[in-house]
A and B are shown apart, each in its own frame.
Chain A
Amino acid sequence: MKKYIYFWGCQIPARFPFMEKAARVILEKLGIMAEDISGFTCCPEKNMAQNMGDDIWLLTAIRNLALAETAGGEALITPCNGCYATFKSAAHKLSINPPLAIRINKVLQDSGLKYSGRMQVKHIIELLADDIGADVLSRKLSNPLWGMKIAVHYGCHLLRPGEGGGFENPHAPVKLEMLVNALGAGCVDYPSKLFCCGESLGRGCDPSQALDMARRKLL
């Protein structure tokens, strides 16, 4: 089996530890063992770190991937959309720019790290949908969610940027809905399904704008 490494990011351990719990429990039940390793920093959050310059964002992200690679990892599992998009875009940026990859690796080398580009990054939804499969999940249920109606929110950064991301078609995703259906539940379609939740409006703007945006989704 592939050697998986967990990347929880900052927000899940700080605010939503129950998300970490659920991820650990279900992966263990599905027979996927993943390791925790020391040394990770913030992925870092692109919306913030890019304001500090491209280099800080890129180098920090690649350092995290290199740590996982140096620990013998083959795939990084993250349940966080933000971390997922950061890693996917950073890895993509290096894959299309070999001189940049060489430059970054030169600096990493002095820390005893190496980034070859082999490290896979998997969002946990992607892992469940692509590597395990909805059909396998549907056979593992003891209490299906019959009759329940679920409205899914993919979130911007699971789907976009499509370039370098590759979760699925950013305009017409279906994977999360397939996974929900596999649980026996139904999905409700709603017009603002792919709409942003507004979270980052809380960072540089009047927080009420963020709430207005969230309302647009929930109404």
Chain B
Amino acid sequence: MRRQGDPFDIPVFHYTELLGLAMGITPKELGLNMHRIKADTFLKDWSQRSSQMELIEEYFDLASLKRCHVCRACENDCPSALNVPKFEPQAIIGRVLEGKLEELLKLPEIWNCVECHTCVELCPQRFGMEKVFTILKRLAVEQNMAPETMKNMIDTFSATSRLGKPQATLSKRLKLPQAKPSGMQEWRELLERFKA
């Protein structure tokens, strides 16, 4: 076919060769370099996927994630998925399984999970797909890819130990006792000691 100009360049394997690879036998020992159509592209893709899988395994429980991906018991009860059509939790989980972490961290939809825990309550394996989003969001924050509102929240919390100042004027009008001071300094020291 090649001689006739067909552009096919698809490596062809006997099943036993694939099994051999999967069993840990080296391509060299299997003589894969003798194939007329080079197996190199296949081997390169395979090694890339494997390293992506290792990365995913570092953050996610792969067995639970795979079951989660095919189950969908909670999907029709996810308030955010019901409300925002382009938020498709199972599609995102599918992409995690494909190892597309980098593109997912940039995806605005990962922030659509409201962590309402509905999925956790409905989950037959007590996994809860929100776990996936909690991890994706944390990785996005670590790589400075969080949305501005979230960044601001984290900054306020880190700088003041709280998320908002007590309203002195309204409190006074309601004759409420003055708000007690927060233990910001002690809290900071505690976190530093914990990190060390």
Contact = CB atoms under 8 A, between A and B. Distances in A.
Query: Taking chain B's interface residues, is the majority helix, strand, or loop, or is none over half, making it mixed?
Result: helix
Contacts of B149: 202-204
Contacts of B174: 17-18, 20-21
Given A39-B183, A42-B162, A196 B121 contact: no
A138 interface: no
A95 interface: no
B165 A14 contact: yes
B190 A107 contact: yes
A60 interface: yes
Contacts of B180: 36-40
Contacts of A21: 174-176
A53 interface: yes
Interface in B159-196: 161-167, 170-171, 174-177, 179-184, 186-187, 189-191, 193-195
Interface residues of A, number: 61
Nearest to A22: B174
A108 interface: yes
Interface stretch (B9-17, B26-34, B77-85): B77-85
A216 interface: yes
Interface in B84-105: 84
B118 A156 contact: yes
Interface stretch (B38-46, B61-69, B107-115): B107-115
Contacts of A200: 114-116
Interface stretch (A115-123, A143-151, A180-188, A205-213): A205-213
B71 interface: no
A111 B181 contact: no
B150 A213 contact: no
A24 B194 contact: no
Q: Which of A8, A67, A157, A209 has the most CB of B within 10 A?
A: A209
Contacts of B115: 46-47, 200
A42 B190 contact: no
Contacts of A53: 138
Contacts of B147: 203-205
A190 interface: no
Interface of A: 8, 10-11, 13-15, 17-18, 20-21, 24, 36-42, 44-53, 55-56, 59-60, 63, 67, 107-108, 110-111, 156-157, 160-163, 170-171, 195-196, 198-206, 209, 212-213, 216
24 contacts: A14-B166, A14-B167, A17-B166, A17-B171, A18-B170, A37-B180, A39-B181, A41-B187, A42-B163, A45-B153, A45-B157, A51-B137, A52-B141, A52-B154, A55-B194, A63-B187, A160-B120, A161-B117, A162-B121, A198-B83, A203-B147, A205-B84, A213-B83, A216-B83
Given A49-B157, A107-B194, 8 more contacts: A24-B176, A36-B177, A42-B161, A196-B116, A204-B146, A204-B147, A205-B147, A209-B83
What are the 3 tightest A-B residue pairs by CB atom distance, in nearest-first order? A204-B111, A14-B164, A39-B183
